[in-house]
Homo-oligomer: A and B are copies of this chain.
């Protein structure tokens, strides 16, 4: 018999009813306004009663009679008027809720998360420490564990939490990865300081060795697990907390790059070339910010070429690693992207794991593997059955027949994320949850100890780990309401094929239909060239016209179409004037290299044109609406979009 308790995947009753996706959102016409309003009021009044129940003997702060005073009335009048002004201004906002919005990664949100956020915001818990958030700190750890379990990390070994967004999540992953990378050097120096003659450790090639005999290259290529094991071995060998501060005193975190580098030179006589971070060419621009700020250097970001499907090329990764090994450049981390921002491309994580294993064996070189699944992370739910087990690929495929979605390679890649060391998943993207809600999960919780800092006013003797998770986290104060929003959403929509999987599958179905329409229709005298079939739910396409003989002109044409089909970046445009909302991006030659060439050529241009113009501008449609292909709707949005696109192209060519 099934129990009714909350499962590891969020939902209370994981597999005994079909979830009606129409019940999830307020809806483009506010179809679910009645139930939303009822629950909203319930949440608000419930909170008010809670206040009144707390020390009922306390007096009233505002007496009814005082509400007639001129200053009170005036103040409330200002509040009311200012709110109405805000409401008027907000109408200049973008209709993310509409099937006509297929621009950025924005859409309608689950009612569960909106109401959950509001209900919790009234309490305003601060998840920096459980003392300010006894309820929502627990929820934060729960939802992080749900995500980790979906990925396939061992729940007993993982560590995860929410962040303000994907940038901070990725930042934290690389911050920890760096600390782990240089840990063996700190251990070596600590062991020497403590007078140890030997400390047996495992190297990347699975050979045992004495830490004190390893050279610098070997120390920097022990791999994350071995390095953390070595720290434990040292702790056991010394078993004196006071002395063990030597580890942190010798760490790069404590010494900083300047002093750490100076000592490396002194001790190892090795002017080590800068350590690098590998990303696919399609990696999000925030990786550059992250490497710059961490002091790694934006220039130490190595772009690994992508293939024609815009996935990191495993062969190119291997060649890159061979070169770096020759040049003795350590790799702090390799970032694999699960759902690129531009194309929703899913790197073949399964193949990248193979390359990493080969590098350890053949090059004696290893590194932290991070999955930037900010966009695509929730799609991993398609690989999970109601009981949490992996589904057959065939079962997943049957759900979306006759569409071939997901492709087998994509499915394998999603499953393979379980082999990564850390993963970023943004609930505020494909979790359909309001900002701010990012999440970072680590497969091995021990790395967090290397970045922990205690606040004197938060960390108390005997406090449980649960009591103060803030010490392991980059950010301090943060909204408990975000944790409640994610928790609520996972409860109505579990992280499996029946829940989020189905929602995201439907968005991909819509994207495939849009892609087919763009590919199949006759656009003469225009040319519309979509990128290859998307791995998830973002459709990009290039445009031109027979009269445009330069790629620059085609790029300008794309920009004009984008401007006509968006609210634009300048103030004052009325969103009601826009029929459909899309966005655009540029496949820059520097990052994309030859991967964009097939598109350029189908557009009728040459490699020289592409290189000369610096890149290819493409229009970009993010499909987050699960109902785009619903039959029997009054409007066929895909057909209407195609009609509108043609009309805009005609107008903009003439203009």
Per the bound structure, the CA–CA distance linking A171 and B129 in Å amounts to: 20
| B293-A474 in contact (CB<8A) | yes
Residue contacts A-B, CB under 8 angstroms, 7 given: A17-B75, A39-B83, A59-B633, A134-B571, A165-B478, A284-B455, A289-B474
- Residue A423 is within 8 A (CB to CB) of chain B in the complex: no
Q: Known contacts A20-B72, A94-B132, A585-B456; decide if A476 and B166 are in contact (CB<8 Å).
A: yes
Q: Known contacts A79-B111, A464-B569; decide if A274 and B292 are in contact (CB<8 Å).
A: no
Choose one: B18, B342, B573; the contact of A457 (CB below 8 Å): B342
By a CB distance below 8 angstroms, the chain B residues around A236 are none
Given A59-B633, A109-B124, A289-B474, 19 additional A-B pairs, CB 8 A:
A17-B71, A18-B71, A32-B62, A46-B87, A51-B97, A53-B576, A57-B634, A82-B112, A93-B134, A121-B434, A131-B567, A167-B476, A254-B299, A258-B261, A258-B275, A289-B451, A292-B453, A294-B294, A457-B583
Q: Known contacts A72-B23, A86-B488; decide if A54 and B576 are in contact (CB<8 Å).
A: yes
Shortest beta-carbon contacts, A-B, top 9: A256-B297, A295-B295, A59-B634, A467-B569, A257-B257, A164-B164, A30-B48, A457-B585, A23-B75
Per the bound structure, the CA–CA distance linking A44 and B35 in Å amounts to: 12
Interface hits, A120-179 → B, CB 8 Å = 120-126, 129-136, 138, 164-168, 171, 175
Smallest CB gap from A581: residue in B: B131
| A492-B79 in contact (CB<8A) | yes
| B52-A256 in contact (CB<8A) | no
- Residue A557 is within 8 A (CB to CB) of chain B in the complex: no
Cβ of A50 to closest chain B Cβ, rounded Å: 5
By a CB distance below 8 angstroms, the chain B residues around A23 are 62, 72, 75-76, 79
By a CB distance below 8 angstroms, the chain B residues around A463 are 569
| A35-B457 in contact (CB<8A) | no
| A36-B29 in contact (CB<8A) | no
| B478-A61 in contact (CB<8A) | no
Interface hits, A53-94 → B, CB 8 Å = 53-55, 57-63, 66, 69, 71-72, 74-76, 78-80, 82-84, 86-87, 89-94
- Residue A549 is within 8 A (CB to CB) of chain B in the complex: no
Smallest CB gap from A168: residue in B: B475
Per the bound structure, the CA–CA distance linking A477 and B375 in Å amounts to: 12
Choose one: B35, B104, B298; the contact of A131 (CB below 8 Å): B104
Interface digits, A195-210 against B, CB 8 Å rule (1 contact, 0 not)?
0000000000000000
Cβ of A35 to closest chain B Cβ, rounded Å: 6
| A456-B488 in contact (CB<8A) | no
Cβ of A431 to closest chain B Cβ, rounded Å: 12
Q: Known contacts A168-B164, A559-B461; decide if A75 and B118 are in contact (CB<8 Å).
A: no
Per the bound structure, the CA–CA distance linking A291 and B78 in Å amounts to: 44
- Residue A27 is within 8 A (CB to CB) of chain B in the complex: yes
Q: Known contacts A119-B83, A634-B59; decide if A477 and B165 are in contact (CB<8 Å).
A: yes
| B164-A299 in contact (CB<8A) | no
Smallest CB gap from A167: residue in B: B476
By a CB distance below 8 angstroms, the chain B residues around A36 are 44
Per the bound structure, the CA–CA distance linking A456 and B296 in Å amounts to: 22
Per the bound structure, the CA–CA distance linking A71 and B19 in Å amounts to: 6
By a CB distance below 8 angstroms, the chain B residues around A449 are none
Choose one: B46, B51, B106; the contact of A95 (CB below 8 Å): B51
- Residue A481 is within 8 A (CB to CB) of chain B in the complex: yes
Choose one: B45, B61, B256, B454; the contact of A28 (CB below 8 Å): B61
By a CB distance below 8 angstroms, the chain B residues around A515 are none
By a CB distance below 8 angstroms, the chain B residues around A39 are 79-80, 83
Per the bound structure, the CA–CA distance linking A284 and B627 in Å amounts to: 49
- Residue A117 is within 8 A (CB to CB) of chain B in the complex: yes
| A52-B30 in contact (CB<8A) | yes
By a CB distance below 8 angstroms, the chain B residues around A259 are 274, 297, 299-300
| B98-A58 in contact (CB<8A) | yes
| B478-A571 in contact (CB<8A) | no
| B58-A29 in contact (CB<8A) | yes
By a CB distance below 8 angstroms, the chain B residues around A559 are 460-461
Per the bound structure, the CA–CA distance linking A428 and B559 in Å amounts to: 39
By a CB distance below 8 angstroms, the chain B residues around A84 are 42
Interface hits, A561-615 → B, CB 8 Å = 562, 566-571, 573, 575-576, 583-588, 615
Choose one: B44, B117, B133; the contact of A40 (CB below 8 Å): B44
Cβ of A525 to closest chain B Cβ, rounded Å: 25
Q: Known contacts A26-B48, A36-B44; decide if A295 and B83 are in contact (CB<8 Å).
A: no
Cβ of A482 to closest chain B Cβ, rounded Å: 8
Q: Known contacts A57-B635, A585-B457; decide if A106 and B83 are in contact (CB<8 Å).
A: no
Per the bound structure, the CA–CA distance linking A383 and B273 in Å amounts to: 53
| A436-B436 in contact (CB<8A) | yes
| B254-A257 in contact (CB<8A) | no
By a CB distance below 8 angstroms, the chain B residues around A136 are 93
- Residue A100 is within 8 A (CB to CB) of chain B in the complex: yes
Choose one: B52, B100, B292, B571; the contact of A138 (CB below 8 Å): B571
Smallest CB gap from A101: residue in B: B54
Q: Which of A109, A112, A569, A576 has the most CB of B within 10 A?
A: A569
Per the bound structure, the CA–CA distance linking A66 and B630 in Å amounts to: 14
Smallest CB gap from A76: residue in B: B23
Per the bound structure, the CA–CA distance linking A294 and B171 in Å amounts to: 11
Cβ of A533 to closest chain B Cβ, rounded Å: 20
Per the bound structure, the CA–CA distance linking A109 and B51 in Å amounts to: 14
Per the bound structure, the CA–CA distance linking A194 and B116 in Å amounts to: 58
By a CB distance below 8 angstroms, the chain B residues around A43 are 83, 87
| A129-B299 in contact (CB<8A) | no
- Residue A226 is within 8 A (CB to CB) of chain B in the complex: no
Q: Known contacts A22-B62, A453-B288; decide if A255 and B299 are in contact (CB<8 Å).
A: yes
- Residue A239 is within 8 A (CB to CB) of chain B in the complex: no
By a CB distance below 8 angstroms, the chain B residues around A393 are none
Per the bound structure, the CA–CA distance linking A463 and B570 in Å amounts to: 8
| A134-B567 in contact (CB<8A) | yes
- Residue A33 is within 8 A (CB to CB) of chain B in the complex: yes
- Residue A272 is within 8 A (CB to CB) of chain B in the complex: yes
